[in-house]
Amino acid sequence: MQEALAMTYLWLKAGHIIFMVFWMAGLFMLPRQMIYLHPAAAGSPESDLWAKRMGLLRKVILTPSLLVVWVLGLALAMTIGAWDQGWFHAKLLFVILLTGFHGIMVARSKKMIAGERPMSEKQLRIWGEFPGIALAIIVVLVIVKPF
């Protein structure tokens, strides 16, 4: 029985890491695609091409990966009893922040596809750094478990 639980844990962990990588890749790509869309005139062939790419990124990578990361992450937390560990609460905070970032960027990308420009290229470049910083903090929290 213990061996079966250990194998389940390892499969949950592997899946969580795989889909976290997919999600992070999407979070790195979306602001970059928004930067490329920024100078294109609404309704132009270039704008339509970036709109299609961003839509596929959202539908094929970002949203499915986000959902799987959350489901597997919560299953992992229950499996190891992480709810009473300080590092887990800090990690959870940063995952919630990344989820909020995901939502904000998706909403802003949809506005950009509609012809609006809610952020400057410089703001997009700055916002594009957030996933990398959050990822570094999360990895340290999970590996080092400082508290």
91 annotated to bind ligand: yes
Domain count across the chain? 1
Q: Name the pLDDT band for 126 (thresholds 50, 70, 90).
A: very high
pLDDT above 90 for 1: no
Mean pLDDT of all residues in 21-47 = 96
Identify whether the C-beta of residue 62 lies closer than 8 Å to the C-beta of residue 30. yes
Residue burial 24-58, b: 16+ Cβ < 10 Å; e: rest:
bebbebbbebbbbbeebeeeeeebeebbeebeebb
38 annotated to bind ligand: no
Tell me the three state secondary structure of residue 131: helix
**Mind listing the pLDDT tens digit for each residue in 2-17?**
677 678 999 999 999 9
Among residues 72, 71, 62, the alpha carbon closest in space to that of 101 is found at 62
CA distance 66 to 95: 10
Among residues 142, 1, 7, the alpha carbon closest in space to that of 77 is found at 142
Q: Is the pTM of this model over 0.85?
A: yes
Identify whether the C-beta of residue 106 lies closer than 8 Å to the C-beta of residue 50. no
pLDDT above 90 for 74: yes
Mean pLDDT of all residues in 50-57 = 97
pLDDT at 24: 98
pLDDT at 61: 97
The range of the structural domain enclosing residue 85 comes to: 2-144
Identify whether the C-beta of residue 101 lies closer than 8 Å to the C-beta of residue 131. yes
Mean pLDDT of all residues in 111-128 = 96
